[in-house]
Amino acid sequence: MLNQTPLWKYIIIAVVIGLCTLYASPNLYGEDHAVQISAGRNAVVDEQLVEKVSADLAAASIESKSIVLENEQILVRLLDADTQLRARESLEKSLGENYYVAMNLAPDTPEWLSALGGEPMKLGLDLRGGVHFLMEVDMNSALEKTLKDSDNDFRTALREEDIRYRTIKQVENGLEIYFRDQDTLDKAEFFLKNRNRDFVFSEKSDLVLFATMSEQKLLETRDYAVKQNITIIRNRVNQLGVAEPVVQKQGPDRIVVQLPGIQDTAKAKEILNATATLEYREVDIEHDVSDAIAGRVPPGSELLNYEGRGPQLLKKAIIVEGSHIIDATSGVDQNGMPKVSIKLDSQGGAKMLAFTKRAVGKPMAVVFIEYKATGERDAAGKLIFEAKRTVISVATINGVFGNQFETTGLDSPKEAQNLALLLRAGALIAPIQIIEERTVGPSLGKENIKLGKEAIIAGFMLVLVFMVIYYKKFGFVANIALSLNLVMMVGIMSMIPGATLTLPGMAGIVLTVGMAVDANVLIFERIREEVADGRSPQQAIHFGYDSAFSTILDANITTFIAGLILFAVGTGPIKGFSITLMIGIATSMFTAIVVTRAIVNAWWGGKRLTKLSI
């Protein structure tokens, strides 16, 4: 018999719509104004801190809805925005610099729904507000690093060519290479000029060869520093789980970072602002540490602080730098202590292998380096950064290893996780500093949301009225499908971890409403044609759906492909539009064809009909 839908199809439709409705429901519960507290590198978040936070808020006469410790962070839910601001200011004063206190918006989703993975849909910077950072790249450090790499490269090349030199010094604008006689200098100059086309060589007095970077090399170095830092910052933001961030270049040495959907994120600021990397260095066991402490530091070595253990004498020569690290994961070693498993690239692995072959049984130190702005600027107006080097681990090399090994000696699992995150995201080519931090308030976003909702509701209601008037009972069926389509879109957007609704995304929803009803218009017009051709009502319904399907499929596939292209090549708001467009196409195909066919079959299928209300 025509127009009969089997029970299993009804069950599938009910399950799909039920799941989408379930995961769309968190958007009905709203959000709480909250303050988020997380620990700095040398601080701990525990139950004692929860009690202190509670006492500090009570002393400041600030009422809170709840104070919860979760994921090594404290979340304080508050009554309103004014209380939130007062709470942040009070806690910043009482907790000090060792803790990060940030404003946030915490979903008020019921626990049972959160346990099922239900979360409200994320809103973009243009709808909800967010955090805007302007970061400046220290170009002087980028150039110094390039010269330092060239210094090591020159030394290795001259040794391999058996060209003897006295020493190589790094000066402000280049490298000075000292020789003992003119013949050796001439031979070295000829060799290096042919080998290093991006350097300009000139002979100075007293048997000194001066090498400076060419203008093209300088431009490439600066451009590479910014582009590489942008890539690494994107990786860091992605690993923090921030949806659809904006990370882009502004001017020759600045980077804009926008984190939509949040007012402030302590963890994001900590990770973005921290310019950190590692150096693996050999411990100087040939000289006495006490002599170095007394001021007699041997040439080629330096004295660094070993956290919790006092000064440590290390050789200045770097075995491997953090820029060679391509992966890092935290875990525990065989003794249950925190560790970071590190994987190097081929160049770093070769350096580590060459060192460990001759250093089995000797201690090797891990130096953690943080670059922090001094607040001062040089003659060119650029920020001056200071490198803080701290030894975090000293371990004996028990065997030869290459590109995979472990770093131990860390104080806590949290420190291991943070360090692994920084290293996995990449070592910044040059230090960066947040020179402007701006919180974009949600007031403009509320206006955008209001206008966007009005546009969606107006378009939706006009379509509903038109369909009922023009297609009668079949129009009512289409309206049911259209309503379910919106619910499914919201549910799927809420389920996708990285999906964010932006203002262009709302435009995509409005467009999808029109596209969804367009499919039903094609079907209903085809049914009318079949009735006009003399077919029975049941045959008209059957042939109407079957005949219109290919046309609907072709139109939606081409639009879906366009959405894929927009997603692949676009950024930010364009991706937001393409995501809602593609989701809308998929849900509209399901509701306009499968759901309406099931409703029509349940309403009219298997009955003796003389006419259709269409």
> Computed from CA positions of residues 78, 81, 85, 90, in that sequence, does the dihedral angle turn out positive or negative?
negative
Q: Is the pLDDT of residue 212 over 50?
A: yes
Q: Is the pLDDT of residue 532 over 90?
A: no
More confident residue, 238 or 322: 322
More confident residue, 290 or 275: 290
Mean pLDDT lowest for which of 97-106, 157-166, 258-267, 539-548?
258-267
Last residue of a domain, one of 418, 438, 458: 438
Residue 368 placed within a domain:
yes
The two structure tokens encoding residue 599: 């409703």
Mean pLDDT of 139-148: 81
Phi, psi of 595, rounded to the nearest 5 degrees: -70, -50
Q: Is the pLDDT of residue 143 over 80?
A: yes
CATH of the domain at 471: 1.20.1640.10
Average confidence score pLDDT of the chain: 82
Amino acid type, 323:
S
Q: Is the pLDDT of residue 217 over 90?
A: no
Please, what is the Cα angle at 342 between 400 and 339, to 5 degrees? 100
- Rounded Cα distance, 194 and 192, in Å: 5
Residue 45 placed within a domain:
yes
Last residue of a domain, one of 438, 470, 499: 438
Mean pLDDT of 11-31: 91
- Rounded Cα distance, 202 and 193, in Å: 10
Residues 164/188, Cβ–Cβ less than 8 Å: no
Q: Residue 389's domain spans which residues?
A: 274-438
Q: Which residues contact 505 (CB under 8 A, 6 or more apart)?
A: 124, 573, 576, 577, 579, 580
Measure the N-to-C terminal CA separation of the chain; round to a whole number of Å: 22
Residues 270/372, Cβ–Cβ less than 8 Å: no
DSSP 47-86: HHHHHHHHHHHHHTT--EEEEEEETTEEEEEESSHHHHHH
The pLDDT of residue 20 is 93
Residues 90/58, Cβ–Cβ less than 8 Å: no
Same domain, 575 and 554: yes
CATH of the domain at 89: 3.30.70.260
- Rounded Cα distance, 115 and 263, in Å: 25
Mean pLDDT lowest for which of 13-22, 103-112, 155-164?
103-112
Q: Is the pLDDT of residue 40 over 90?
A: no
In a 13 Å sphere around the CA of 266, the CA atoms on its Cβ side amount to 23
- Residue % of the chain over a pLDDT of 70: 88
Same domain, 329 and 408: yes
Residue 577's pLDDT band (cuts 50, 70, 90) = confident
Residue 331 placed within a domain:
yes
The two structure tokens encoding residue 148: 């330092």
Q: Record the pTM.
A: 0.58
Residue 18's pLDDT band (cuts 50, 70, 90) = very high
More confident residue, 585 or 142: 585
- Residue 337 CA: distances (Å) to CA of 131, 346, 363: 36, 28, 19
Mean pLDDT of 350-360: 88
Q: Is the pLDDT of residue 573 over 80?
A: no
Residue 515 placed within a domain:
yes
Residue 260 placed within a domain:
no
Amino acid type, 191:
F
- Residue 263 CA: distances (Å) to CA of 130, 135, 408, 449, 578: 5, 18, 36, 17, 25
* Tokens 């209380």 found at: 83
Residue 264 placed within a domain:
no
The pLDDT of residue 241 is 46
* Tokens 């003659």 found at: 379
Q: Which residues contact 495 (CB under 8 A, 6 or more apart)?
A: 23, 117
Same domain, 468 and 498: yes
- Residue % of the chain over a pLDDT of 90: 10
Same domain, 233 and 300: no
Alpha helices in 161-214 (DSSP H): 182-195
Q: Is the pLDDT of residue 250 over 90?
A: no
How confident is the model over 376-396, as pLDDT tens digits?
777 766 667 677 788 877 878
Residue 406's pLDDT band (cuts 50, 70, 90) = confident
More confident residue, 315 or 429: 315
Number of folded domains that form the chain: 4
Residues 493/583, Cβ–Cβ less than 8 Å: yes
- Rounded Cα distance, 102 and 95, in Å: 12
- Rounded Cα distance, 320 and 339, in Å: 18
Residue 257 placed within a domain:
no
- From the CB of residue 310, how many other CB atoms can be counted at a distance below 10 Å? 10
Residues 467/479, Cβ–Cβ less than 8 Å: yes
Strand partners, 340: 330, 407
Q: Is the pLDDT of residue 600 over 50?
A: yes
- Rounded Cα distance, 346 and 326, in Å: 10
- Rounded Cα distance, 177 and 117, in Å: 63
Same domain, 455 and 568: yes
The pLDDT of residue 243 is 47
Residue 535 placed within a domain:
yes
Same domain, 420 and 544: no
Same domain, 21 and 40: no
Same domain, 301 and 211: no
More confident residue, 182 or 30: 182
Same domain, 598 and 503: yes
Residues 113/124, Cβ–Cβ less than 8 Å: no
Mean pLDDT lowest for which of 215-224, 247-256, 262-271?
262-271
Q: What is the CA radius of gyration of the chain?
A: 32
Same domain, 172 and 314: no
The pLDDT of residue 561 is 93
The pLDDT of residue 382 is 64
- Residue 24 CA: distances (Å) to CA of 122, 434, 484, 585: 12, 37, 11, 18
Same domain, 598 and 454: yes
The pLDDT of residue 587 is 92
Last residue of a domain, one of 108, 125, 153: 108
Q: Is the pLDDT of residue 572 over 70?
A: no
Mean pLDDT lowest for which of 194-198, 326-330, 596-600?
326-330
- Rounded Cα distance, 89 and 72, in Å: 21
Same domain, 77 and 152: no
